[in-house]
Amino acid sequence: MHWRDKALNHARKDAPDESVGLLLNVKGKEVYFACQNISNNSQQTFILDPNDYLKASKLGDVIAVIHSHPTTTLAFSESDKVNCEKHKLPWYIVDPRTAKWIYREPDGYVPELLGRRWIWGVTDCWSLVRDYYKKERGIILRDYDRSMSPEEFLENPLFESYAWRTGFRELRLDETLQEGDVLLMSIMHPTLNHVAIYLGDMVLHHLTDRLSCREPYSLWLLKCTAKRYRYVENS
């Protein structure tokens, strides 16, 4: 059976949940490897089980990601486009209702900085910082795997511990903020759970379940700010 037929059968079996699988190069042959979707919202999105990815990579080279859109339009969503870039692999989407396919390769896509929808681990506050530095300064910042959910992340936020590994140093109290500096904040929680970009009298940031925006660096945001960082790796 052709790998497309296997992927389509998998999509029909898992519907109305999104199916996900990997296309492998096994000794020169294209092989479909079905994976488990472990997302808590599996009818709208997918999270590929990392154990499945590990098993697949032992069988052959992973050459594409394949998933289905059983209830939504056969088109690449913002999340699909961002994740295609993140994984640096071609993506296929199949519609189990019509057996139609679409295909996309990484092309350097970066969503607009303003007005992006909040999606955990895809377009969230740290993603906005990374995309700002890529678009405005040509700097590629390291990304880090998030916890499975924002709730888990709150128990162990990564920003503070990973700042120095990403090329940032903490500013002293007597140092003045400069445009592009990163602000580490506590938003409605005791941990440092949010990052924003300083833009003079404004900040660029992306709060949970809101659109990314630019807004005044208000007294409230100033009070939420616990630490300030500057990118110095290439200076």
The answer to whether 94 and 68 are in contact (CB under 8 A) is yes
User: Token pair of 216, please?
Assistant: 């005044």
Q: d(Cα 45, Cα 50) in Å, to the nearest integer?
A: 16
Q: Is 213 designated active site?
A: no
Catalytic residue among 69, 194, 206, 224: 194
Catalytic residue among 67, 69, 205, 206: 205
DSSP calls for 126-186: HHHHHHHHHHHH-------PPPSSHHHHHHS--HHHHTGGGTEEEPPTTSPP-TT-EEEE-
What's phi and psi for 67, nearest 5 deg? -145, 170
Q: How far is CA 174 from CA 171, 184, 228, in A?
A: 8, 17, 11
Q: Is 35 designated active site?
A: no
Say which DSSP state 47 is in. Answer: -
Q: Is 69 designated active site?
A: no
Q: How far is CA 91 from CA 35, 55, 63, 75, 165, in A?
A: 15, 19, 9, 12, 30
Catalytic residue among 35, 125, 206, 224: 125
The answer to whether 187 and 199 are in contact (CB under 8 A) is no
**Residues classed as catalytic:** 125, 194, 205
